[in-house]
Amino acid sequence: MTCSSSTTCSPDPWPARGRRLGGRGLRAGLAAIAGLLALAAGPVAGEAPGSGAQVSRALAAIRRGDGIDAEMRLRAAIEQGAERRDVNALMGEALLAQGDEVGARRWLARGEFSPATAAAGWRALGLLERRDGNLPASGRAYDRALALTPADAGLWVEIGRLRYAGGEHRLAIEAADHALSLDGANVPALTFRGELVRDRYGLLAALPWFERAILLDQKDVDVLLEYAATLGELGRASECLTVTRRVLDLSPKNPRAYYLQAVLAARAGNYPLARRLLLRTKGKLDDEAGVQMLRGAAELAVGNEAAAAQALEAVLRQRPDDRAAQDLLARALYLRGEYRYLTLRFADAIGRGEVSPYLVTVVARASEALGQRGAAGDLLDRAARPARASLRVLGRQGRIGELLASGQGAAALAAAEGMRRTAPGFYDANALAGDVQLALGHPREAQARYAAASDIRLPESLFERRIAAYAMAGDLLGGRDLIEGYLLQNPTSRVAQLAAARLAMAMGDAGRARRILAWLRDTGGAGDVRLLADLAMAEAGTGDSEAATAAAAVAYRLQRSNASAAQSLAFGYVTLGQERAGAVALLDKAQAIAGTTPLIAAAREQLRARREG
């Protein structure tokens, strides 16, 4: 069980992942203090008369997010005679506001709360347990609070966040909707619903929810941060910067605001500024993979490879399969001259085929530097091979992934479908069932399960798998609708833009493909061999053989053993009527690596026609 009862949460068929919604928002998550308001009116039974004023001031400090002042007021109240059970809940909240979860537990764990503070106390304990990853204990605490205050919209928001952390995504959506039905002007509920909408529908759809919340409370730091993050993802940098500055006015030294500003600086290519801004977070976000990823990229860009490697290793401890982090770490190690460690660090991952061609190439160069030319040659050949249509199954280290890897497709399918029937409201259950169907060559069945997962959220990883399913089924129109809808809400997604370009080529619109691919090249893709090869073919499709040959030549210089680069350059030579011998050699090379492709066959046919003509 993720939680204690069906009132709050439902059974969890796999270990809780504790995923933070959207991965972006800094959630203070302070429990509601409605039950404690009685304390502000005057001393409760057993409380010394002079302590009531201190409790009242502590409540005000909690409202403005000043946990330190609240703690001091409460300690003064205790010295003036207030009983522990009358201040336990509020002291727990004050310490939670400071991030002192160990201290908060000392005040909350025993559940000794006065009747006036019990609801807030149980709610604070639920938050504490959720932060610590103790989801069943969190659910039990929230159940106690819910029994006392069933119509508290803020409590339902926290229940929704607990459900989301436990993977119970549909139930989380229901909790958010219920919170809003109780109080349509509840700012935390509007913020939470905006996050859920952003996960499901996209960035643009989320903005009105955050804007509505801000209109109700222009000083709510949490919603301002979510709004700023969404604006930043949309590429609206100046607006994002304005909002983060507002956050810093309200919450000086707020680490999340500095992090968002660092992201903006990095996207603008100002890595020294990004690095300085990250330093201003004072390490408060260092347990987040996204923060360490940005730090790794920034340190690498300014030439501090040692710090970059340290940050990227932290990312991979949390996300071992993160290919971007793997690639950056490989580059950092290579630039530091740590060739031996580099080859050992990624040997197992390369053996499993779980790394990018770029990483394999870097490891090959490291092997060359160590004098291991045979190993380097094998690795370069491997990097040049065209990527097989492969599927990285969610939970691949689990039983279903093991069944697939061992060729037990029927058993994997039965297990995945059983999980989906047991937990139809879980994103992972539907996505995993789709993965298995796709791996077994059933694209339409996969699409149906992916669509069910998309009703909950649609991250880029699922978007890519849905596109793969449409491609396998030959459903170009379905793929087009998905891409257009995704780009409408997420216009800055490079993954979706690349998918749009490739779909345009498949549908015969080389001009559109060329425009998109040229933009991707000019905005960070100049070193992407596959992208350049695709661009060359799009340019050839528009009749611009000279531009096509130039783009293919750049791709080939970047990776001479890449089949796509070799065949696109050969095709360029053929269409220009140049370098016949070079074109034949390149076609032979590409064919030896990738086999006979339609492009190789077309180029050879043109060569034959010219020779016979």
Domain 527-613 in the same topology as domain 1-180: yes
Q: Which CATH superfamily, name and number, covers 527-613?
A: Tetratricopeptide repeat domain (1.25.40.10)
Q: Are 352 and 320 in contact (CB under 8 A)?
A: no
CA 125 – CA 108 distance, rounded (Å): 6
Beta-carbon-side half-sphere exposure of residue 195 (alpha carbons within 13 Å) = 27
Sequence spans of domains, the chain: 1-180, 527-613
**Exposed/middle/buried for 543, CB within 10 Å: 0-12, 13-18, 19+?**
exposed
Per DSSP, the chain holds a count of helices (H) and strands (E) of: 35, 0
462 or 561, greater pLDDT: 462
Q: Are 272 and 302 in contact (CB under 8 A)?
A: yes
Tens digits of residue pLDDT in 119-132: 999 999 999 999 99
Radius of gyration of the chain (CA): 28
pLDDT of residue 405: 77
Q: Which residues of 346-356 are buried (b: 16+ CB within 10 A; e: fewer)?
A: beebbeeebbe
CA 564 – CA 578 distance, rounded (Å): 19
Q: Are 198 and 22 in contact (CB under 8 A)?
A: yes
CA 324 – CA 269 distance, rounded (Å): 17
Q: Which of 357-371, 386-400, 489-503, 533-547 has the lowest mean pLDDT?
A: 386-400
pLDDT of residue 37: 39
**pLDDT exceeds cutoff 80 at 514:** yes
- DSSP state string for 412-473: HHHHHHHHHHH-TT-HHHHHHHHHHHHHTT-HHHHHHHHHHHHTT---HHHHHHHHHHHHHH
Neighbours of 604 (CB within 10 A): 18
**pLDDT exceeds cutoff 90 at 280:** yes
pLDDT of residue 515: 96
Four-residue CA torsion sign, 89, 15, 178, 144: negative
Task: Say which amino acid occupies 514.
Answer: R
Alpha carbon distances (Å) from 292 to 134, 300, 316, 364: 25, 12, 10, 26
pLDDT of residue 404: 82
CB within 8 A of 209, min separation 6: which ones? 190, 191, 193, 194, 197
* Predicted confidence band of residue 38 (pLDDT cuts 50, 70, 90): very low
In the block, residue with structure tokens 């169907």: 437
- Could you give the angle at the alpha carbon of 197 between the alpha carbons of 195 and 199, nearest 5°? 70
394 or 365, greater pLDDT: 365
pLDDT of residue 44: 43
The DSSP code for 522 is: I
Element (H, E) at 41: none
* Predicted confidence band of residue 576 (pLDDT cuts 50, 70, 90): confident
pLDDT of residue 144: 96
Q: What percent of the chain has pLDDT over 70?
A: 89
Q: Which CATH superfamily, name and number, covers 1-180?
A: Tetratricopeptide repeat domain (1.25.40.10)
pLDDT of residue 10: 46
Q: Are 55 and 87 in contact (CB under 8 A)?
A: yes
Q: Which of 28-42, 233-247, 299-313, 384-398 has the lowest mean pLDDT?
A: 28-42
Alpha carbon distances (Å) from 81 to 2, 55, 116: 40, 12, 18
Q: Are 294 and 279 in contact (CB under 8 A)?
A: no
pLDDT of residue 163: 94
pLDDT of residue 326: 95
pLDDT of residue 147: 96
**pLDDT exceeds cutoff 70 at 524:** yes
pLDDT of residue 552: 93
Q: Which residues of 424-448 are buried (b: 16+ CB within 10 A; e: fewer)?
A: ebbbbbbbbbbbbbbbbebbebbbe
If you average pLDDT over residues 349-364, what whole number do you get? 87
pLDDT of residue 8: 58
Q: Are 226 and 195 in contact (CB under 8 A)?
A: yes
25 or 301, greater pLDDT: 301
Tens digits of residue pLDDT in 59-72: 888 877 788 988 99
Q: Are 37 and 114 in contact (CB under 8 A)?
A: no
Tens digits of residue pLDDT in 425-448: 899 999 999 999 999 999 999 999
Element (H, E) at 133: none
Beta-carbon-side half-sphere exposure of residue 245 (alpha carbons within 13 Å) = 7
Q: Are 416 and 436 in contact (CB under 8 A)?
A: yes
pLDDT of residue 50: 55
Q: Which of 24-33, 121-130, 479-488 has the lowest mean pLDDT?
A: 24-33
The chain-wide mean pLDDT, for the chain, equals: 87
Tokens coding 547: 């531009």
CA 69 – CA 59 distance, rounded (Å): 10
Task: For residue 475, report the phi and psi dihedrals to the nearest 5 degrees.
Answer: -95, 85
pLDDT of residue 204: 95
